[in-house]
Every structure is written in structure tokens, then in C-alpha cells.
A and B are shown apart, each in its own frame.
Chain A
Amino acid sequence: MEATTISGKTAEFQKDFTRVTRDIEASQKIHRESMTYLQGVVRTLKRNKVAVCSLVFILFLILVAVFGPILFPDYQKTDLLHTLQAPSKEHLLGTDELGRDVLTRLIRGTRISLFIGFAAETINLIIGVLYGGIAGFIGGKVDNAMMRVIDVLMSIPQTLVMILMLTVLKRGMGTLILSLTVTGWIGLARLVRGQILAMRENEYVIAARVLGAGKREILLNHLIPNAIGPIIVNYTMSIPGAIGAEAGMSYLGLGISVPEASWGNMLQFGASQFPASLWLFFAPAILFALSMLAFNLLGDGLRDALDPKMRK
């Protein structure tokens, strides 16, 4: 009795619907093209507006650093009749105590400060990746010995190393960059070593080994590409540190010295003239703060974009 009513109801429903046969071929079709790692990174990064703005700003700074001093070469030209002038049409950001144009010096300072940041951190990148990579990959006693060296170096604060080297050696850009690299690579070396150690035990590395891949192949094809994300993030975020360290040294008179311009010595001079000549302080201070923000925010964005696990 009940069965007939159910089947009756089913028949009633079936009137409104038509059966569609399942098209197996169509359901197997892949509609979106598969993406490479790089395409994925670019796509995630593009969605992050803050990171894109930061990247554009940093590229702009690099352009200024490369071409600016060629277009405005007179950063040392003094004009003693027009010292400490407020911003005007002739001098968009005013002049300093010797009548030098602040905007021109700021452009020159951008080249010097960015060069210090990029040069020092690139050296740190190379040393750090090699040191950490070797320690992590060889492992065992070699790793142990290499890590003890790092333990010792880590206890020496960077400011003290910089002060010592800049006091004793010839002051200037070379010594400054050198002093930034004495202990600067340690963070990256530890990071790379940790990454390599963790990844060596991953299934895909074991699988590669089982399939007969050599040590070299594992290192180049599996370990380094997988560790590259955190390395790039670390590199991006350490550049402002190096630029800031130069500024700190400028306060002690150990940074880049006048008549050469750097953000550090312009900030230092601007601070000494504060609040009488506001433009001398705010011009470098705002540019400095914006660049620091840009490098850090780009680093944050890259961290999300480079890590496949963070991708939505």
C-alpha cells in the first residue's frame, strides 16, 4: 500500500524533470590552464594592493637612484648668498646651510643610501645562503662546528662592530658596507640552514633520492627552489635595516660624511636644525620613513605570495 504511494509520488516528480546523461569527457576537462609557480606568485602579489604600491615606489626610488644624479648633478654646488632658504620655485625643497639644493642632495642621497643597502645585503645574501646551505646540507659534525661559529658571532652586536671598524679603519662607504657584512649574514645563514634541514626529511626529497637523484640534483632542483621564498623575503626586509644602520652611524659622525650626501647625514643635519628649518628635517625624514615602510610592506606581501601554502 505504502510502496505504491511512494512510487506514485516519484512518478509525479519525474514529470517535471528530464534525465540528463553524465558527460564524462566534459567533466574531466580542465578549464583553467595550469599555472607555474612564478605565475601564481605574480597573481597573488597583484591582488595585494599595498605590496604593489610598495613595489612601484621602490622601483621609482631605484630609477631616481640610477638616473637622478645624472639629471641633477650639482649636489655639491654651494651658494652662500642663499643659505637655509625655505622651499621656493627655484629650490623645491629649499637649501641647506651652505646653500646647496636639498632636492638635488636628496636625489644623490637616494643613490648612496640605496647602494649601501643593496650592496651590503647582497653580500650578506651570498655569504648567508652559501654558509647556511653548506651547513644544512652536509650536516653532522661540520654543521655543528659551523653553528658554533655563528653562536659566537651572534653575541657581538652589529652597532659595536660598526663603531669599532669605522673608528679604526678609513671612514667611508667601503668600510661601512664591510662593517655591515661582518655579522649581517648570520640571520640568513640560520634561516637557510633551518629550511634545508627541515626539507631534507620531506617526502619529496626522499622520493627523489629513491628515484636515484644525486646530491647535486637534490640541492639544485629541490632544496634551493623551495627555500627561495623565505630568502627573498629576508633580503627585502633586511635592506631597510642596513640603510637605517648608516643613519645611526651618521649621528656619531661615522656615516657617510659631507659633502657626499646620504639619507643618514641629511637626517642628522635636519634633526640638528629642527624646528628652525623644517624642510631640512622633513624632506629626508618623510622619504626615509616611506622607503622603510615600502620595503617592509613589500616583504610582507612577498611572504604571502611566495609561500604556496598561504595562497587562497
Chain B
Amino acid sequence: MRNYIIKRILLAIVTIFVVMTLTFFIMHAIPGTPFRTGNDTISEESLAVLMTRYGLDQPLYKQYLKYVGNILRGDFGVSTSNGYRSVTEIILTAFPISADLGIRALIFGTIAGILLGIEASLHRGKAVDHLSTVIAIIGISVPSFVLGTVLQTVLGLGLSGWVKTVFHTDYQLFPIARWQSFRYTLIPSFVLGMGTVASLARLMRTSMLDVIDQDYIKTAKSKGISGWAIIWKHEVRNALMPVVTVLGRMIGGVVTGSYIIESQFAIPGLGKYLVNSITARDYTMTMGLTVFYSIFIVASMLLVDLLYCVIDPRVRLAK
């Protein structure tokens, strides 16, 4: 057990290190300097000053060591597209918003996905089952900006237009941009959560069907336990195990996968900064966010793996 935990933590550190190194060398494979990216006119003297100021005139290995050291101290450099604000500071202000959106989406997605999966497995081969398959496939494969656009137009603009003609107020039940009160969070969280709904519904269905065939379900039935108690206490509880594992891997995906929704709904989260930094060719910012995202994902996966060995006695015994 202890060995397993130590091994997982070491692996996580190695992973982050690999990502950091790869990012650094990709960053330095780009020709030119971060200060002269096209139309900027910077004199040779200012450029030299800037290069010394940010240590870019040093040999590569020294820069690498400095870069690693800086990241370890939580310094990701400065963002050229955000008025030379420090990337760390931007992360600290924007990440809580992304996390908020991600958590809402996860809560919605998990509950809806699991319920849909249970419903489908209980009515195998019926209309509900087929419907949930179609929802699942569309939810997984249709890009979120497509769903986002439709909801923004129909629920956001369409509904508020109707409200305006009927009630003569500017009240918006589903605002289509910004992140202010609960109303603002509804459509973005729904769109972001759809992917989770889809994959969890499918997974939960398969997992339930596996459990339903087990002998202990037959035993429970023959003992005369009521149908609902069997479904909730025996089937759902056992079927949830594989879902928990996947959920852990999903946390990272959902929190980092919100870049499209954030820029579409003008939510000032990390994803929006990521999209902006790409269009502005702000490499430090893009790379800094990439490293930050990987650290976040690795850490959340580590946490879930450790939790998993607390939850599932079999994992504990095996190690």
C-alpha cells in the first residue's frame, strides 16, 4: 500500500517533469524571439536589453535550469499579450472561474449521465435505451461550439426576444455571455457537461448490465428483497465502481476542456486566456498554461487513484 502510493507520487512528478521539458524545448524550437513577432518595431538596443532582462542571451541549458527553477517557485514568466502581467497572477485570478464552471458541469454531467445509464440498462432494448445511445454518441462527438451556438441563439436570444415582446422587459433568463450570477452559468455548464453525460451514460449502462447478471443479484432476488432496494443497494452501488475511476480522469478533461465554451460565452476563465494567447501568438502564456494544465491533470489523477484504493478494498489487498 505505502509502496504503491510512493510509486504513484514519483510517477506524477516524472510526468510533470517530462511535460515541462518538452514544453521548454518546443518553445525554443520557434525561430525568432518572443519580443519581435512580426510587426513590432523594436530597436536592436532595446531587444538586447530585453534579452538580458529575461535571460534569453544565456546558453540553453542555463535557461532550462532557470525555467525549471522558476516553475518550481510558481513563476511562469510574463504574458506579452496581457500587458506583461505575470502568468501566475493571471492563472490565480482566472483558474477559480474555470474550476467553478468545470465543477458545475461535472455535477450536472455525473448526475444526469448516471441516471440516464441506469434508466437505459433497466429498459434494455426499449426506446429509452436507444434514445440514450443516440444522446451519448451525439454528446461525445458533436463539438461543443455547435451545441453552444444553438442554445445561445434559441434559449438566449430567442427567449429574451420573446420575453421583450410579451412582457416589455429586458430580463434575460439565460444570458448568453459573461459569468455573474446563477442564471449566467446554466447554458455553459449544460454544454460543458454534455460530454460527461454522454460518456457516463454509456459506461454506466454497460457496467449495470454486467452487474445485473451476477449471482449475488439472483441471491438478493430469491431472498425476496424489493425491486427498488435491489436496484439501488446492489446493482447501482456495484456498477458505480468503474464510473468512479473514469470520473477521476474526467475532472482534468472537463476543467481544461472548457476553452471553447469560455471563449464562446465570454467567461473570463483560463480557457479564454488560452484561446487568446494562441491567436495573439503569446508563447509564454500558451506554454505556461499548458504546463499548469498538465500539473492540474496529473494531480487530480493522482488524487483519484489514491482515493480509489481507499474506496475499493480489492485494490488495497492486491498491493
* Also in contact, A253 and B279, with CB within 8 A (given A157-B253, A248-B260): yes
Interface residues of A, count at CB 8 A: 38
**Residues 19-43 of chain B: 1 if any A CB is under 8 Å from the residue's CB, otherwise 0?**
1000100110110000000000000
* Also in contact, A274 and B145, with CB within 8 A (given A148-B11, A164-B286): no
Min CB–CB distance B255 → chain A (angstroms) = 10
> Are B252 and A157 neighbours in the complex by a CB distance under 8 Å?
yes
* Also in contact, A274 and B150, with CB within 8 A (given A159-B256, A164-B23): yes
Interface residues of A in 121-164 (CB under 8 A from B): 148, 151-152, 155-157, 159-160, 163-164
Distance of A137 Cα from B274 Cα, bound (Å): 42
Binds A, one of B49-57, B58-66, B134-142, B178-186: B134-142
Distance of A267 Cα from B145 Cα, bound (Å): 9
How many A-B contacts are there with CB distance less than 8 Å?
A: 111
Q: Is the C-beta of A240 less than 8 angstroms from some C-beta in chain B?
A: yes
> Are A252 and B153 neighbours in the complex by a CB distance under 8 Å?
no
Q: Is the C-beta of A293 less than 8 angstroms from some C-beta in chain B?
A: yes
> Are B290 and A164 neighbours in the complex by a CB distance under 8 Å?
yes
Binds A, one of B81-89, B100-108, B239-247, B292-300: B292-300
| SS class, residues of chain B in contact with chain A | helix
Min CB–CB distance A158 → chain B (angstroms) = 9
Min CB–CB distance A32 → chain B (angstroms) = 28
Min CB–CB distance A117 → chain B (angstroms) = 11
A285 contacts which of B29, B146, B153, B298 (Cβ < 8 Å)? B146
Q: Is the C-beta of B18 less than 8 angstroms from some C-beta in chain A?
A: yes
> Are B141 and A275 neighbours in the complex by a CB distance under 8 Å?
no
Distance of A35 Cα from B253 Cα, bound (Å): 45
> Are A168 and B26 neighbours in the complex by a CB distance under 8 Å?
yes
A168 contacts which of B15, B29, B275, B301 (Cβ < 8 Å)? B29
Min CB–CB distance B76 → chain A (angstroms) = 15
> Are A292 and B138 neighbours in the complex by a CB distance under 8 Å?
yes
Min CB–CB distance A106 → chain B (angstroms) = 15
Q: Is the C-beta of B266 less than 8 angstroms from some C-beta in chain A?
A: no
Q: Is the C-beta of B278 less than 8 angstroms from some C-beta in chain A?
A: yes
**Residues 125-148 of chain B: 1 if any A CB is under 8 Å from the residue's CB, otherwise 0?**
000000001100110111111101
Q: Is the C-beta of A244 less than 8 angstroms from some C-beta in chain B?
A: yes
Contact-residue size bin, chain B (C-beta under 8 Å from the other chain):
35 or more
> Are A289 and B279 neighbours in the complex by a CB distance under 8 Å?
no
> Are A163 and B286 neighbours in the complex by a CB distance under 8 Å?
yes
Distance of A156 Cα from B287 Cα, bound (Å): 13
Q: Is the C-beta of B268 less than 8 angstroms from some C-beta in chain A?
A: no
> Are A155 and B298 neighbours in the complex by a CB distance under 8 Å?
yes
Q: Is the C-beta of A288 less than 8 angstroms from some C-beta in chain B?
A: yes
Distance of A274 Cα from B312 Cα, bound (Å): 48
> Are B138 and A156 neighbours in the complex by a CB distance under 8 Å?
no
Q: Chain A contacts of B15 at CB under 8 A?
A: 151-152, 155-156
Q: Chain B contacts of A157 at CB under 8 A?
A: 252-253, 256-257, 293-294, 297
Q: Is the C-beta of B14 less than 8 angstroms from some C-beta in chain A?
A: yes
* Also in contact, A271 and B274, with CB within 8 A (given A152-B11, A157-B256, A168-B30): no
Among residues of A, the one whose C-beta sits closest to the C-beta of B279 is A253
Among residues of A, the one whose C-beta sits closest to the C-beta of B253 is A157
> Are A271 and B146 neighbours in the complex by a CB distance under 8 Å?
yes
Q: Chain A contacts of B259 at CB under 8 A?
A: 159, 252
* Also in contact, A293 and B138, with CB within 8 A (given A152-B15, A251-B145): yes
A297 contacts which of B137, B287, B293 (Cβ < 8 Å)? B137
Min CB–CB distance A46 → chain B (angstroms) = 19
Q: Is the C-beta of B238 less than 8 angstroms from some C-beta in chain A?
A: no
Q: Is the C-beta of B149 less than 8 angstroms from some C-beta in chain A?
A: yes
Q: Chain B contacts of A168 at CB under 8 A?
A: 26-27, 29-30, 283
Kindly list 14 other residue pairs between chains A and B, CB separation below 8 angstroms, not including A148-B11, A160-B256: A151-B11, A152-B11, A157-B257, A164-B26, A167-B278, A241-B141, A244-B143, A247-B143, A248-B143, A248-B145, A252-B275, A285-B146, A296-B141, A300-B133
Which are the 7 A-B pairs with shortest beta-carbon distances? A292-B141, A271-B149, A247-B143, A296-B137, A152-B15, A155-B15, A155-B298
Interface pairs (19), CB distance under 8 Å: A152-B14, A159-B257, A160-B256, A163-B274, A164-B286, A167-B281, A168-B29, A168-B30, A252-B259, A254-B278, A271-B148, A274-B149, A275-B153, A288-B142, A292-B141, A292-B142, A293-B134, A296-B141, A297-B137
